[in-house]
Structure 1
């Protein structure tokens, strides 16, 4: 019976009926709470609905049921890292995703690529938080203005949640309005920082590392990038170490040797120029 409910939930999921799928997965869990795949499925459908707390709950149970070191737990940890990012806990998301990423490379698991994206997003969020603290510490006026903007956003989000709780709007409408509020708040923050950077210059400008300069294995800025046959670039020492351990392309899983690597001179020049002009990025 539980597996029939799961199968029906899968059909609802394919149809895009995430609420219906979640209900069926919940029924399956009530029938059999020892199958981690049920929790994995419900975690995924909750991620689709951005129910981050519920997704974290389910993913953690799935990891425990599989066993933290089991290959099958890699997908559960992928879901867990997504949920932690959604909950604005990037440091935790980074630790979970990095461990799962390393395990996926060792076992040739197909979740390596999506996990690498989660790691990069987490690292960017951690860096953004540090930048916010740095900028606010440098200028008391900017700090006060940003705190006021944050207070306005929290007030608007609180009112929106109250409307959802009162049944005035549905979950889809809530998510659309929430995204609009967050986007507008980010625009106001960017404008505020641009004004201060223009007026004061120098260290008041927010520092950002472009994605294309970052190695997808170590998640550090590259110094000697090489390109694989699939067209992806990696730091030379990192990709050689990976090939020696597992002779496949980290992204496509196609067999590969060190002879297949080619220097990426244009990207190397871009990395060198960026590091020359942004010494702080060495510690990124």
Structure 2
């Protein structure tokens, strides 16, 4: 069994550290293999995900591997996807991250014949919706912060209280490890307090209107029930999210609603509907559960 095969096996059982080691060994023997680089990047991402102690420098390992993989093969959708996830959600480079995610979706659909199932494009589609929801939520919270005098006053009080606590602990003669531990606790409490403050000010009438506004049915894919991202229209006039429809057609080439024979070549992008979805998101954000 080759080092790559051992890496794939370790990845599939969730042993990401072992997968990274095997992929690294394989890369040493084949440094120009784009798939090996993106496989290691994916393993790094899975290992680091949900670990609050991972540093930005560690996350940059994902970006480095993804960048190297894309330099070798611009159509490597795994490199685009995991690079985009890392850029957007971990390194907070939202514009670049979202662009990479959208490129990953388009590229994965362009290589659709390689898939037996369309789970990866569907996963990317969900991540794009999650990213757009994150952007709208940040914009909304920023509008609250900039327009509400009471919010600003409370933020000033929080910052003063935080600084007073830091000054108090530094004024005491305690061991450095105790000092560091207490400083971390104060900082984590500050972050929690700010989140609570944002939540309180978000729970007003305008927020309810913005965040609890259910999208109309015609803007949602009838298969996944989520907002469209890349809608295509069938000869019957019904629109579907592309990745979900392609999944259906890979098993049975009939229209999901009319049951008439349907092929991918008969479907076309619904640009007007996509524009309507983009305008809806601009006004209301994304309220679907992702």
Instruction: Judge same fold: TM > 0.5, yes or no.
Output: yes
| Structure 1 residues 148 and 100: CA distance shift in structure 2, 3 A | farther
More RCO (CA 8 Å, sep 6+): 2
Tell me: CA distance 1:197–1:54, structure 2 relative to 1, closer, same or farther (3 Å).
closer
1:56 aligned onto 2:56: no
Aligned to 1:116: 125
Larger radius of gyration: 2
Within the candidate set 56, 77, 81, 2:84 is matched to 81
Is 1:100 aligned to 2:125, yes or no? no
- How much has 1:58 moved relative to structure 2? 0.8
Structure 1 residue runs without a partner (length 5+): 157-167, 169-177, 214-220, 263-274
Report what 1:227 is aligned to: 222
Once the two structures are TM-superposed, the CA of residue 195 in structure 1 deviates from its matched residue by 3.9
Secondary structure in structure 2 of the residue aligned to 1:227? coil
| Cα distance, 1:88 vs structure 2 | 2.0
| Number of aligned positions between the proteins | 227
TM-score of the aligned structures, taking structure 1 as reference length: 0.61
CA distance in 1, matches of 2:243, 2:226: 16
1:138 matches 2:142: no
**Secondary structure of 2:245's match?**
coil
- In the TM superposition, residue 227 of structure 1 has moved relative to its aligned partner by 2.4
Counterpart CA distance in 1 for 2:15 and 2:243 is: 41
- Residue of structure 2 in register with 1:239 after alignment: 232
Shift of 1:148: 7.6
- Report the Cα distance in structure 1 between the residues aligned to 2:130 and 2:209, rounded to whole angstroms: 17
Which 5+ residue runs of structure 2 have no aligned equivalent? 49-57, 167-176, 178-183, 260-279
Task: Indicate how the Cα distance of structure 1 residues 61 and 15 shifts in structure 2: closer, same or farther if over 3 A, else same.
Answer: same
Q: Work out the CA distance in 1 between the residues paired with 2:100 and 2:212.
A: 22
